[in-house]
Amino acid sequence: MYEAAGIVLAGGKSTRMGTNKALLPLGPESMLATIVTALQPLFPEIIVVTNTPACYRQLPVRLVADVIPGRGPLSGFHAGLLASPCRYNFIVACDMPFLAPDFISYLMEQAPGYDAVVPRRGEYRQPLHAVYSRRCLKAIETCLLEGSYQAFAFYPRVRVRYIDIDRLPGFSDLDRVFFNINTPADMERARRLLDR
C-alpha cells in the first residue's frame, strides 16, 4: 500500500448518459464502487470529489466537494488534492472502471522527482488516469483563476513525466484501462468487456 491517496472525480453532469453514470451497475457493483474496490488495496485513503455527496454516503470513502465549482475536472483536481493528506495522489475519473493495479503501481513508482506522471499515446494524454503531487495545487489554482479549465492546462507550470504507453512492455490491454464510459452504447460495450 502506497503512502498516497486515490482520488476519484465524480462531479460530472453525465449529460450524454442521461443519468448519473457513477451509480449505474457494472457487474455486482456500481461503476464508482467498482473503482473504489480496485483502489482499496493500493491506497490507505480514497477521496471521492462530488457535488452530490448524498448519492455516495454508503461507500467507504471520504467525500469532498469542489472548492471552486463549475470548472470541470480541473475543479475536481483542485478539491481532491486540497483535501488529500498525501504528497502523491492517483486521480481517476469515475467513468474509467477497468483499472489495472499493476499499471497504477508502475505510475506511482515513477513519481519521485516529478509533480505529475501522465500516460500518453503520441500527443494524446490521459490526465484523468494519472499521478499528481500536491505541489500542483498552486499551478491549478492559477489556471482556475485565469479561466484555463482544460484538465492539462497547468502542465506547463509543473514538472511532468510522460509515460509513453506504446513503448511500455509488460502491460497488456491498456486500451481497456483507458476506456471511459460516456453514453449508453459505451455502457453496453463495458458490460460485454466485463463478461469476457
Q: What confidence score (pLDDT) does residue 61 get?
A: 97
Q: Answer whether residue 139 shows pLDDT above 80.
A: yes
Distance CA 142, CA 81 (A): 14
Here the cell at position 164 is 509513453
Cβ–Cβ contacts within 10 Å for residue 129, how many? Answer: 22
Q: Answer whether residue 102 shows pLDDT above 90.
A: yes
Q: What is the pLDDT of residues 66-86, one digit of tens each?
A: 999 989 999 999 999 999 999
Q: Kind and range of the H or E element at 91?
A: strand 88-93
Distance CA 35, CA 92 (A): 9
Q: Answer whether residue 116 shows pLDDT above 70.
A: yes
**CA separation (Å) from 65 to 74, 80, 122, 148, 195?**
13, 8, 33, 20, 34
Distance CA 123, CA 180 (A): 18
Q: Answer whether residue 179 shows pLDDT above 80.
A: yes
Q: What is the pLDDT of residues 144-173, one digit of tens each?
A: 999 999 999 999 999 999 999 988 888 878
Residue the block writes with cell 457513477: 22
- Top CATH class of 4-195 equals alpha beta
| 3-class secondary-structure state, position 183 | coil
pTM (predicted TM-score) = 0.94
Average pLDDT, the chain: 93
Distance CA 36, CA 89 (A): 14
Q: Are strands 4-9 and 45-49 parallel, antiparallel or unpaired?
A: parallel
Domain edges within the chain: 4-195
